Each structure stands twice: as C-alpha cells, then as structure tokens.
Amino acid sequence: MYLTREEEKMYAGEYGPAVEKSMEILVALGDIYGADGMVEIVSAQISGVSYKTIGEAGLEYLDDLASEGAQVQVPSTLNPAGVDLDQGKSLGFPEEFTRKQLLIVEAYRKMGISTTCTCTPYLVGNVPPLGSHIAWSESSAVCYANSVLGARTNREGGPGALSAAICGRTPNYGYHLDQARVPNLLVEVETPLSGSDYGALGYLVGKAVGNGVPYFKLLDKEQIKPQVNQLKALGAALASSGAVALYHVENTTPEYREVITHTGNLEKLTITRNDLDNTRDKLSTAQKPDLVCLGCPHASLDEIGEVALKLDGKKLANQLWVCTSISVKAAADRMGYTEMIEKAGGHVVCDTCMVVAPIEDMGFKVIGVDSAKAANYVPSMCGLDVVFDEWENLIAFKK
Ligand SMILES: C[C@@](O)(CCOP(=O)(O)O)CC(=O)O
Ligand code: SF4
C-alpha cells in the first residue's frame, strides 16, 4: 500500500518504537484488507480496557507502549473498564482485579487517552462530524458513529484503534469508502416500536444481515422517529448478533437520502410484533433477576432520570446498577437522580458494565437487562442467566 514520506518515517522507526510498532500493525491491517493507503483520523475510541477481557498479556502490551513514550495524536477515549474506578470498593469489586484494572487505565492515561471509560463516547464529547474519518472499536459505538453521526470507521479491534490513535491514521478501506456504505437488505417494520423493541429488532436483523448494511423503513415516521436512546440500542444489538457497522433509517439517519436509490431491488425482510416478542422470550434464560443492570450501551442522562423518578420514595427488592460514564453521572448527581436511585437501594455505576465487570465473581446469578446486546452477551461472557424485558418489569419494590 502507498505510504506518504511521513508514514514511511513512522514505519522505519524514526519516531521511536511505539510509533513504529503501531504503524506496523496499521500496515499489516491495510495489506490484509486491501487498503490503497492511509487516511488521517480525527478521533479514536479504544476497546480492550477491562482486565477481564485483555488479562495479563494486554496489561503488559499497554505497559510497554506507555513506557516507550506512546502518545495519541487525536482526541481518544476508552471503552468501559472492569470496575467503577472510584466506587470499586463500596460496590464490592474484587480487590486484586481492581488493582490490575487501575494499572491498565493508568497505562492508557499516560498515552494521553481520556480515561472516561464509556461505550457511549458520543454522549460525552467524542462526537466526530459527518464524513470525518475515525478509528473506533466498541461495536455499538462504531454503529452509532457510522449510522447516526455519519462519521466513517471500520469495526476496529482494540490494538487497531490504539495504533490509529498513536499514528493519527488508519488504513483506507471498508466503511471509509462510499461503496461499502450502500445497503444490501431492506427491513420493513410493520409494528410501532417502543422500549426494548429497538434492541429486539436489532438482534433479529443483525442475525439476518451478518456483516451487511440494513436499511430500515419504520412504520410511521411521524410517530416513531427514533431518538438517540433508541438508535444506540438498535445499533448495539445489530452489532452484537451480526457484524454490522452501519445501518440507515429512512427519514432519520444522515446518509439515507444518498442511498435510498439502492433500495429498489434489495432483498426484503419484514418484521412483525410477534417477531419482536418472540426474540425477547428466546433471549431470556431465567425469570427473576437478583441484579438488574441497565445502561447497555451506557445510559444517557434522560434514561437515568426516568429510572430515578420511578424509584423516588420507594425501596427496591432486587439490586440495581444503572451503568454510565463518569461525565453523565456528574450531571445525574447534580440533577438529584443519583440520590433518588441510591435512596431506593440502587447504584449509578460508572466506567463499567454487566458484561465487562467480573459480576460472575460477585455473587450474582440472574441478571435482568433491557438491552438485547446485554442479553446476548451476559450468558456467554459471564456464564450467568439473563432476563430480557422492559426495565419497568425487571425492577421489584419492597412491599
Ligand atoms: C462487548 C463489548 O461491548 C465490550 C467488551 O469489549 P472490550 O473488553 O472493550 O474489548 C465490545 C464490543 O461489542 O465491541
Ligand atoms: S456490553 Fe454494553 S454496556 Fe458493556 S461496553 Fe458493551 S455496549 Fe457498553
């Protein structure tokens, strides 16, 4: 692939071993996927943060890079870690795990990466504009960035996104190019959508479309135009049951007008109310959750607000985590939401989630979720049972 003189220098080690190593990774990826050259990026989002998923080998790799002086060249944020970085002890996270986790985050911090550990960076200031090239790796965030923001990224792995952040570039292939952004499946949804329907829809369509690009026609554009919270749930589920990186929603997402002409001859999938209800039932493996975990992807301020108002003045019978970023929690604190949730016996948990935290070692057995992505991953990544339903049905109050 073609490299500019600057990129040649990076590759040849003229900027030190961290840049050299990172450029080698980018060139290898570019060669595998047939990139013609590199493209400059404006933002990075780096997964592979939890000690649960990257382990000792990951920690060593990051420590080496940090001690070699690696520095990111573009604004970069981290994916969720395995613990709440501030409230780890009071929430009962295992001590040794927490110690390792803090070392990982410290290595990233040294590289200049913001330690806002979240899968919804677009809610806390990492918001690349339409048409910009970026390297993001959290699959739900990739889906959001490509589809809702109209930025351009492949589904990077953690090392790929980190290398891109260090070099300020990523190989130019896949979703960076116009031709990969056209839809290849038309999805007609025949029923109005609300709550966890968006996740159930994403789960079903992700299975059908694999690594393709679905184009959604929702029932009634006036009534059910999806907003940020719904689009994040839809994209997260699409990206977890399939390898989706981009979707379009008619009258909603920014690139639908450019691709609408391609929808005429597409294979069509019709989704009914029954399809969505059956999906929710199929994903559930138990009935009564001992821990309800909301915020997959990380909750927005208004999602936390809805839960807080419902809990206000009551006492919970099961445990509750509402997972979010430190920035959104700060706003929730000021709004009084955190206090309402805590008084009811729940927690606003930062930096982590039900999938990347070691919840299987914390005494929980059945996790209640309102997210299809979490319902898909909790059994496989934590080995625990899951109930997938609307959050209002999952929480129970003391009589
Ligand atoms: C399941 C996921 O949301 C979180 C775990 O990823 P990681 O530990 O950051 O690599 C990753 C993803 O879907 O990209
Ligand atoms: S599993 Fe869900 S909450 Fe956890 S990092 Fe992934 S999208 Fe975020």
Residues 22 and 146 in one domain: yes
Residues 198 and 83 in one domain: no
Residues 306 and 255 in one domain: no
Within a domain: 270: yes
Among protein residues, the one whose CA lies closest to atom 8 of ligand 2: 297
Q: Which of 137, 138, 142, 353 to mutate to test the pocket of ligand 2 (most atoms within 8 A of CB)?
A: 353
Distance 21 CA to ligand 2 centre (A): 29
Distance 324 CA to ligand 2 centre (A): 10
Print pLDDT tens along the chain (399 aa).
999 999 999 999 999 999 999 999 999 999 999 999 999 999 999 999 999 999 999 999 999 999 999 999 999 999 999 999 999 999 999 999 999 999 999 999 999 999 999 999 999 999 999 999 999 999 999 999 999 999 999 999 999 999 999 999 999 999 999 999 999 999 999 999 999 999 999 999 999 999 999 999 998 755 668 999 999 999 999 999 999 999 999 999 999 999 999 999 999 999 999 999 999 999 999 999 999 999 999 999 999 999 999 999 999 999 999 999 999 999 999 999 999 999 999 999 999 999 999 999 999 999 999 999 999 999 999 999 999 999 999 999 998
Residues 71 and 121 in one domain: yes
Domain at 299, CATH number = 3.30.499.10
Instruction: Single out the residue in 234, 255, 279 at which a domain terminates.
Output: 279
How many other CB atoms are there within 10 angstroms of residue 273's CB atom? 13
Could you report the predicted ipTM of this complex, rounded to two decimals? 0.98
**Nearest partner of 116 among 299, 327, 338, 302, judged by Cα:** 327
CA 34 to chain centre: 27
Among protein residues, the one whose CA lies closest to atom 7 of ligand 2: 297
Among protein residues, the one whose CA lies closest to atom 1 of ligand 2: 355
- Show the tokens assigned to 252: 């909603």
| pLDDT score, position 126 | 95
Instruction: Single out the residue in 131, 161, 178 at which a domain terminates.
Output: 178
Residues 123 and 222 in one domain: no
Phi, psi dihedrals of residue 12, rounded to the nearest 5°: -85, 0
Hey, what amino acid is at 305? G
- HSE, side-chain direction, 13 A CA sphere, residue 210: 1
Q: Who lines ligand 1 at CB under 6 A?
A: 47-50, 53, 79, 119, 138-140, 158, 355-356, 377
**Nearest partner of 145 among 52, 306, 255, judged by Cα:** 255
Residues 187 and 169 in one domain: no
**CA dist., res. 373 & res. 283, Å (int):** 10
Task: Write the CB contacts of 362 (distance below 8 Å, at least 6 apart in sequence).
Answer: 92, 93, 94
Residues 15 and 110 in one domain: yes
Residues 372 and 325 in one domain: yes
187 strand-pairing partners: 216, 269
CB distance 44 to 135 below 8 Å: yes
| pLDDT score, position 221 | 56
Residues 59 and 72 in one domain: yes
Within a domain: 236: yes
The structural domain count of the chain equals 3
Could you write out the DSSP letters of every residue in 222-258?
HHH---HHHHHHHHHHHHHHS-----EETTTSTTHHH
Closest ligand 2 atom to 377 CA: 1
Residues 253 and 376 in one domain: no
Distance 277 CA to ligand 2 centre (A): 23
Within a domain: 224: yes
Closest ligand 1 atom to 240 CA: 13
Closest ligand 1 atom to 79 CA: 9
Hey, what amino acid is at 81? A
Instruction: Single out the residue in 231, 255, 279 at which a domain terminates.
Output: 279
Distance 149 CA to ligand 2 centre (A): 19
- Domain of 342 in residue numbering reads as 284-394
Among protein residues, the one whose CA lies closest to atom 11 of ligand 1: 138
Residues 9 and 122 in one domain: yes
Residues 9 and 123 in one domain: yes
Could you write out the DSSP letters of every residue in 120-175?
-GGGTT--PPTT-B-EE--HHHHHHIIIII--B-----HHHHHHHHHHTEEE--GG
Nearest ligand, CA 241? 1
* Cis omega (within 30 of 0) for bond into 297: yes
Within a domain: 399: no
Task: Write the CB contacts of 55 (distance below 8 Å, at least 6 apart in sequence).
Answer: none
Distance 236 CA to ligand 2 centre (A): 8
CB distance 214 to 187 below 8 Å: yes
- Show the tokens assigned to 166: 């260090």
| pLDDT score, position 222 | 58
Q: Which of 117, 120, 140, 292 to mutate to test the pocket of ligand 2 (most atoms within 8 A of CB)?
A: 140
| pLDDT score, position 331 | 98
**Nearest partner of 158 among 99, 111, 209, 203, judged by Cα:** 111
Domain at 13, CATH number = 3.30.499
Distance 296 CA to ligand 2 centre (A): 5
